[in-house]
Amino acid sequence: MKIKVLAFAAFGEILGREREVELKGDASVRELLETLASIVPGFREAAFEPTGILRDYVLLMVNRKRIDPERDLSRILAEGDELAIFPPLAGG
Amino acid sequence: MIEIAEKEISLDRMIQRARRNEAGAVVSFLGTVRDDGIEGMEVEAFRDAALSELEAIRLEAMSRFSLTAAEVAHRTGSLAVGESIVAIVCSAAHREEAFSGCRYILEELKSRAPLWKKEISAEGGRWVEGHGR
């Protein structure tokens, strides 16, 4: 299935502002992030602690709704879903 | 009205749109690029998500502070020192509500709207550390 990935600020510079990722079968948010980490240089170091847990400044949205990285990384994605990745907000 | 755009913010037009006969107060806030030894700033938005979050914040402020109108504009793209980053205009029957509404929108925007700033200096670019989650 194809998932659209949007990335902003520092994560946009690493991943590109928009890309499509092809995943096999049922895949979770964590599997999508792992796939990105395996194909995009620098993303693993930026997004994950050396222990493998997601850094606390990684914020995520699925289909424009915020998800909780502590609870929702196992959420199964569907064809056409959109994941947005960004650091803490700094507007104004 | 909510605006997120690369074009310059017109505070005058926002004030005109916020004026109401029943409003005795119009309060405006303008956030500008401060010269902290930088050459300018780049502002990035998750535009669709920011527009809907700002509209939600605007409606909250309208009802919470009995505003007669509220306008929010945020720039994106490259800005020079001194240029406006964000403008908020609130009108209300009385000044307390207009001041409170303006402050509420600003603080909520900073913590909830998906927007980011990058300071540009001779040494390169540095993303401003965000606190909004």
pLDDT computed for residue B132 by the predictor: 84
Question: Residue A91 and residue B106: Cβ atoms within 8 Å?
Answer: no
Query: CA-to-CA distance for B58 and B61, rounded, in angstroms?
Result: 5
Question: Residue B116 and residue A59: Cβ atoms within 8 Å?
Answer: no
Question: Which of A10, A64, A88 comes nearest B49 by C-beta?
Answer: A64
Q: Does B16 touch chain A (CB under 8 A)?
A: no
All domains in chain A, ordered by first residue: 2-86 (3.10.20.30)
* Interface predicted TM-score of the whole assembly (ipTM), two decimals: 0.92
* pLDDT tens column, A48-70: 999 999 999 999 999 999 999 88
Which percentage of chain B shows pLDDT scores above 90?
Answer: 97
Question: Residue A90 and residue B130: Cβ atoms within 8 Å?
Answer: yes
Residue B133 has pLDDT above 90, yes or no: no
Number of helices (H), then strands (E), belonging to chain A: the values are 3, 5
Nearest CA in chain A to B116: A90
Over its length of 92 residues, how does chain A's per-residue pLDDT go in tens digits?
A: 999 999 999 999 999 999 999 999 899 999 999 999 999 999 999 999 999 999 999 999 999 999 998 899 999 999 999 999 999 999 99
* pLDDT tens column, B75-131: 999 999 999 999 999 999 999 999 999 999 999 999 999 999 999 999 999 999 998
Question: Residue A91 and residue B116: Cβ atoms within 8 Å?
Answer: yes
The pTM for the full model equals 0.94
For B61, residues 6+ apart whose C-beta sits below 8 A from its C-beta are B67, B70, B90, B101, B104, B105, B108
Query: CA-to-CA distance for B128 and B41, rounded, in angstroms?
Result: 10
Query: CA-to-CA distance for A59 and A47, rounded, in angstroms?
Result: 10
Nearest CA in chain A to B46: A8
Neighbours of A78 (CB within 10 A): 12
